[in-house]
Amino acid sequence: QPLPNFTGSVDERGTCQCSIFLPDTTFPVDRVERLESTAHTLSQKFEKELSKVKEYVRLVSVYENKLFNLAARIEVMEKDTVSYTELDFALIKLEVKEMEKLITQLKGSFIGSSEIVNQLEVEIRNMTLLVEKLESLDKNNILAIRREIDVLKKKLKECEDLKGQGSPAAPPPSSGSCGHGGVVNISRPAVVQLNWRGFSYKYGAWGRDYSPQHPGEGLYWVAPLNTDARQLEYYRLHNTLDDLLLYANARQNRITYGQGSGTAVYKNSMYVNWYNTGNIAKINLTTNVVAVTKPLPSAAYNNRFSYANVAWQDIDLAVDENGLWVIYSTEASTGNMVISKLNDSTLEVLDTWYTKQYKPSASNAFMVCGVLYATRTLNTRTEEIFYYYDTNTGKEGKLDITIQKMQENVQSINYHPFDHKLYVYNDGYLLNYDLIFQKLAV
């Protein structure tokens, strides 16, 4: 009888010959291996594309900060149409060109639907043309008369100072000189730029190195704190202000022990509060090596008596015509400001003065010709120099000099004796101001 999957026959010798067809139940190993290989290849391709997407997300974040900085600078130019020069336009064109470079990268990487990228490319090219037209218009109509307008504004300011202060403003004293009667006014802020690490790095300090032997040759330094608003880890040095503005020719160094935004630079050395201690460290800027470290006697630290709205700045280093200073508090002074003059080589305390001003009620402080000036916050756009202490005479008193600012909080103020400017770190933005001095009585 016939059976399923079976065929057979008997030959002439009586031998049975048959064939059996079995179903294919063998495990397909070769096909599984091919599937695994295909899956591995697809996984590699996916990881590669995902890494590209992550890189573009990072780049877009960087250029978002640059665009924010660009918008802020243009806003300042809109408010004061006579304060900008060819360098301002060069900075704008540089940032637009960098954004155009990013769009070119995006366009070359996205295959298929790229309508949005193409549209961005066209808009950025239009922006470039617009900036060039604005620059040409400015050269024809503003730059030619800018100096005359500046002279008129300066004369008007002198008249206002004479009327408001009752004493004429003195011409700027010579480099390193204290031939004046003290600070009586301050200019409007000049917005230099957002710090190089971005908008998230709101705390830090910046300024210009000062050396009495070479007063006009100091390099520029920028030292943002990490996002914990405490640790100083990276800082940059620039030989010129133009390099700083263009993010060019920077020397970037790393340290692991800086704390707070009370940093100062003097004679090619950076002075910082050593992390988690009451010590001061002196760092050679050429080698980035600690030259000296020394405890500041009796100084409170680790946020015991920091400034208002600024943490971790219990020890605030400062520089003026007389050298290196430190502003701090002690338990014995019950939080009032203490001023000490330091030997810049050994960090030994040479002399100390005790004030009646409570340090945590001030927003910051700086030194000019041996006089401490303290600031406080009036509102989100205004500070006030409200207090002074003269170490030359031991006198202290009240002032009411208004300071305009770009953002709400001032993290640090550094004075430079050669150009008589204040270098202010304002919620991540780098500002500077010209000081106006009282004329000495004849």
User: Phi-psi bin for 327: left (phi > 0), alpha (psi -120 to 50), beta?
Assistant: beta
Backbone angles phi, psi at 423, to 5 degrees: -105, 110
In tens digits, the chain (442 residues) has pLDDT values of 555 555 677 777 777 777 665 555 555 656 666 666 776 676 677 777 777 777 776 766 666 666 666 666 666 666 655 555 566 666 677 767 766 666 666 666 655 445 655 666 666 666 666 656 655 555 444 444 555 556 555 655 555 555 555 444 456 677 777 988 999 999 999 888 899 999 999 999 999 999 998 888 889 999 999 999 999 999 999 999 989 988 889 999 999 999 999 999 999 999 999 999 999 999 999 999 999 999 999 999 999 999 999 999 999 999 999 999 999 999 999 999 999 999 999 999 999 999 999 999 999 999 999 999 999 999 999 999 999 999 999 999 999 999 999 999 999 999 999 999 999 999 999 999 999 999 886 5
User: What do you get for the CA distance between the two ends of the chain, in Å?
Assistant: 139
Tell me how far apart the alpha carbons of residues 30 and 37 are, in angstroms, rounded to a whole number. 11
- The DSSP 8-state label assigned to residue 277 in this structure reads S
Tell me how far apart the alpha carbons of residues 334 and 330 are, in angstroms, rounded to a whole number. 6
Backbone angles phi, psi at 68, to 5 degrees: -65, -45
Structural domains in the chain, CATH included, are 32-141 (no CATH), 168-438 (2.40.128.630)
**Exposure string for 11-31, b = 16+ CB within 10 A, e = fewer:** eeeeeeeeeeeeeeeeeeeee
**pTM summary value:** 0.66
CA angle (127 as vertex; 74, 61 as ends), nearest 5: 70
436's enclosing H/E stretch is strand 429-438
Cβ neighbours of residue 433 closer than 8 Å, sequence gap 6 or more = 186, 187, 188, 189, 190, 403, 421, 422, 424
Tell me how far apart the alpha carbons of residues 426 and 380 are, in angstroms, rounded to a whole number. 11
Helix-, strand-, coil-residue percentages of the chain, each rounded to 5 = 30, 35, 35
| Nearest alpha-carbon partner for 326 in 275, 366, 355 | 366
Cβ neighbours of residue 370 closer than 8 Å, sequence gap 6 or more = 178, 320, 321, 322, 390, 391, 392
**Exposure string for 306-342, b = 16+ CB within 10 A, e = fewer:** bbbebbbbbbbbbbbbbbbbbbbbbeebebbbbbbbb
- The DSSP 8-state label assigned to residue 210 in this structure reads B
Report whether 432 contacts 207 (CB < 8 A). Answer: no
